[in-house]
Structure 1
């Protein structure tokens, strides 16, 4: 996914919390790496480390297109679940990007859109 860093919120030794713009909206996440500057664009991979529980931080969505937003330090995502394995590993598609999440199997025909809220997200550069 291509993003642009809008604002560096907090620098750390491992990276920075950044506000970013994507084709799907504006989000807030931890960007792993150094030499970050505002207004830079990057190809990134989104990592989501939360465990998801239906009805708590993930639910079926009425929407049919991906979106990204944030409230406080939690990333809100509408995306499409395209696979759920028996070990609860699920493939989540946000536009053309795929990320893996952990969520209990849902007895629902694939693919389907979900709304989720995640507090443990990281951005990693790709194509470097």
Structure 2
């Protein structure tokens, strides 16, 4: 996913925290990679540092539009269920980007728009 670094927020619990923007909105996350430069665009892989749960961290959305936004200390990602494996992983789609999360519980159908709420979003610089 293509993002632009808005601000280096500093260190929190040993993690570099950044504010970023995308064509879907703005969020905050932990940065994994070389120190990011404010105002620069990067391609990143999204991850959540813990297993999420259907119906708790991942809920059906009343919106059918991709979105990333801040809500207090959490980042909320509105995306679409792409595929679900029996091994507890699910692919989610936001625009042309797909990311995989470890997830517990009973899955929603492919094509369902969901809201993922997390305080543990990790951005991996993939150096493109």
Q: TM-score range by the shorter chain?
A: 0.7 to 0.9
Do the aligned partners of residues 7 and 111 (structure 1) sit closer, same or farther apart at CA in structure 2, a change above 3 Å counting? same
Which residue matches 2:46?
Answer: 46
Q: CA deviation at 1:111?
A: 1.9
Q: CA deviation at 1:55?
A: 2.7
Question: Is the Cα–Cα contact under 8 Å of residues 61 and 78 in structure 1 kept in the other structure?
Answer: yes
Tell me the number of residue pairs that the alignment of Structure 1 and Structure 2 aligns: 126
Which residue matches 1:105?
Answer: 106
Q: CA deviation at 1:15?
A: 6.1
TM (norm. structure 2) is 0.87
Question: Is the Cα–Cα contact under 8 Å of residues 29 and 73 in structure 1 kept in the other structure?
Answer: no
Which residue matches 1:74?
Answer: 74
Q: Note the residue ranges of structure 1 that are not aligned, 5 or more in a row.
A: none
Q: Note the residue ranges of structure 2 that are not aligned, 5 or more in a row.
A: none
Q: Secondary structure in 1 aligned to 2:109?
A: coil
Take 1:77 and 1:36, find their aligned partners in 2: how far apart are those partners? 22
Q: Secondary structure in 2 aligned to 1:59?
A: strand
Deviations 1:91-122 (A, max 9, x none): 0111111111122232x432211011012211
Question: Is the Cα–Cα contact under 8 Å of residues 81 and 109 in structure 2 kept in the other structure?
Answer: no
**After alignment, is 75-84 or 97-106 more displaced?**
97-106
Which residue matches 2:16?
Answer: 16
Take 1:114 and 1:124, find their aligned partners in 2: how far apart are those partners? 22
Which residue matches 1:121?
Answer: 121
Q: CA deviation at 1:50?
A: 2.9
Q: CA RMSD in A?
A: 1.9
Which residue matches 2:95?
Answer: 95
Question: Is the Cα–Cα contact under 8 Å of residues 20 and 28 in structure 2 kept in the other structure?
Answer: yes
